[in-house]
Amino acid sequence: MNVFVTDSYEEMSRAAADVIATLVAEKPDCVLGLATGSTPIGLYAELVKDYEAGKISFAKVKSFNLDEYRGLPGDHDQSYRYFMNTNLFDHVDIDKAQTHVPDGTNPDAEAEGLAYEAAIEEAGGVDLQLLGLGHNGHIGFNEPADDFPVITHVVDLTESTINANSRLFDSIDEVPRQAYTMGIGTIMKAREILLVVNGEGKAEIVRDVLTGPVTPRVPASALQLHPKVTVVLDKEAAKLL
Ligand code: GLP
């Protein structure tokens, strides 16, 4: 595991964008696993800048997002499809037909999970999976549990995640109670992982994830077992390391 501590959110975003930009330059038809949340907004903005400066092209890139709220259509402004379109896809030359986000409106959860897994396999697997980190150690929407979930599946969101994410909705009642997420197994199959975390509020969970025991009670701790992980932190998130 390579851990980089940067001075600010801006530096963290640039350093993380560089990891992605380097891969896209080396392998223009790579498969990116992408993430939502407030953490990666800055790094997506950096990638858009690189594209506008002619330094990078996403024309042959395929992408698979980690997760999506269950029940929200892609044009809902809190759906993760909408987030990806507005923060990245609408501003670069990626072929939107090659961008994948679980379909929040599919009533058949099992079929959706299996189809998503099959699509990832068919694309050749994920080259680099970008991850943010929830306050309780969740990645994607894999909440603390008794086991590590293996494949893409539906989860009941915890009260802490519903509360944390309610800031983005008009009221807490509008936050979906379920979501689709890649499993920990799906994430661990990626050939490379890039975890980005900022802010003092996540310092404790960063310490637990990187230096505590590997346990499904701290889902991101599984990353300790992955052979190629880059962690980019700002100095606040790294405070307790
Ligand atoms: C959300 C998402 C995660 C994200 C995490 C942290 O619930 N499902 O993929 O990494 O919470 O979000 P943020 O970056 O806004 O703190």
Is residue 162 assigned to a domain?
A: yes
Of the chain, the percentage scoring pLDDT greater than 90 comes to 96
Q: Are 68 and 180 in contact (CB under 8 A)?
A: yes
> Helix, strand, or coil here: 197?
strand
Asked whether residue 233 is assigned to any structural domain, the reply reads no
pLDDT of residue 161: 87
Q: What is the mean pLDDT of residues 22-48?
A: 98
What is the distance between the alpha carbons of residues 154 and 137, in angstroms, rounded to a whole number? 18
Q: Encode pLDDT of 56-80 as tens digits.
A: 999 999 999 999 999 999 999 999 9
Q: Which string of DSSP letters, residue by residue, matches 19-51?
A: HHHHHHHH-TT-EEEE--SSTTHHHHHHHHHHH
Residue 65 Cβ < 6 Å to ligand 1: no
pLDDT in tens, 118-164: 999 999 999 999 999 999 999 999 999 999 999 999 999 989 889 98
If one counts the domains in the chain, the total is: 1
| Contacting residues for 133 by C-beta, under 8 A, at least 6 apart | 39, 139, 195, 197, 202, 205, 206, 209, 220
Write down the pTM of the prediction.
0.96
Residue 220 reports pLDDT greater than 90 = yes
Domain enclosing residue 145, as ranges: 2-211
Catalytic residue among 85, 136, 204, 226: 136
* Catalytic hit among 103, 112, 143, 192: 143
| CA separation for the pair 27, 127 (Å, rounded) | 9
Annotation marks residue 121 as catalytic: no
Catalytic site residue 65?
A: no
Q: Give the mean pLDDT of the chain.
A: 96
Domain CATH number, residue 11: 3.40.50.1360
